[in-house]
Amino acid sequence: MIGLSGSTLEAIDYAAALIRQAKHIVALTGAGISTSSGIPDFRSEGKGLWAKDEPLEVASQSTFRTHPEKFFAWFRPLVNSILEAQPNDAHFALAALQKSGRLNTIITQNIDILHQKAGATRVIEMHGTLATLTCTQCYKKFGYQDYLAAFIEHNLLPYCPSCGAILKPDVILFGEQLPQKAWYEAQAETRKCDLMLVIGSSLEVLPVAGLPMQAIDRGAHLIIINNTPTYISVRADINIYEDVAQIVPAIAQHTLNP
């Protein structure tokens, strides 16, 4: 593969071998898997979303409750980039591994629905999803297509057609708890896995960042593919600090076509 060092090629081969040997595989994905699709991440130095804005001022539960227009003003360009985005080769590679029966579950920190667009069927969304909105008063749910397009095109805040209250995108804001069902499912999958793939995550946001530690403490293998090291890299079987959109498809190809 063009541009990859010999050590990286060896790591890809080793990763494919671990995947072929494993019986229950879980992938944990973060923002880094979607940057090649044009969606900015949050923590990259100088260009991440939090390099420009203070999270608690624009993306917190309290801001949404007291000044929803401030939240939506920050949210609008992010929503626009997400709705325009298409899955990249890494998303398709994970979907192919899942379809083949090699990969059991994808646990994602992303809200962009790109795993599902790529064809993945077992996705646990830890930080919520952009696919739906919920009324803050009557709690009815609505699909994003009917409301976010008008929001992007005309800057019209989404309101409930039944009671008139504002609709909140089903994404987890600062100050909110993780979805309980998703968290229980993620923990159950972590306990069952004998191999975890960490892809495009800096592992800085708890409690999701603790899942790889839980996995290896129970004897699972760990593969990390990210642009920078993580707190648990020292305990991983394999660390590959390269472009996720290039490495994950390479591993999938070596796994499915040895």
| HSE, side-chain direction, 13 A CA sphere, residue 217 | 8
| CB proximity list for 239: less than 8 A, separation 6 or greater | 11, 224, 226, 229, 233
Determine the distance from the C-alpha atom of residue 230 to the mean position of all C-alpha atoms in its chain, rounded to a whole number.
16
The single residue of 91, 115, 127, 221 carrying the catalytic annotation is 127
Token output for 219: 């004897």
- Per the annotation, the verdict on 115 as an active-site residue is no
Identify the bridge partners of residue 223 per DSSP, sorted by sequence position: 197, 238
Rounded CA separation 198/16 (Å): 14
Rounded CA separation 174/161 (Å): 27
Rounded CA separation 194/164 (Å): 48
Q: How many other CB atoms are there within 10 angstroms of residue 247's CB atom?
A: 24
Q: Is the peptide bond before 212 cis (omega within 30 degrees of 0)?
A: no
User: Active-site positions?
Assistant: 127
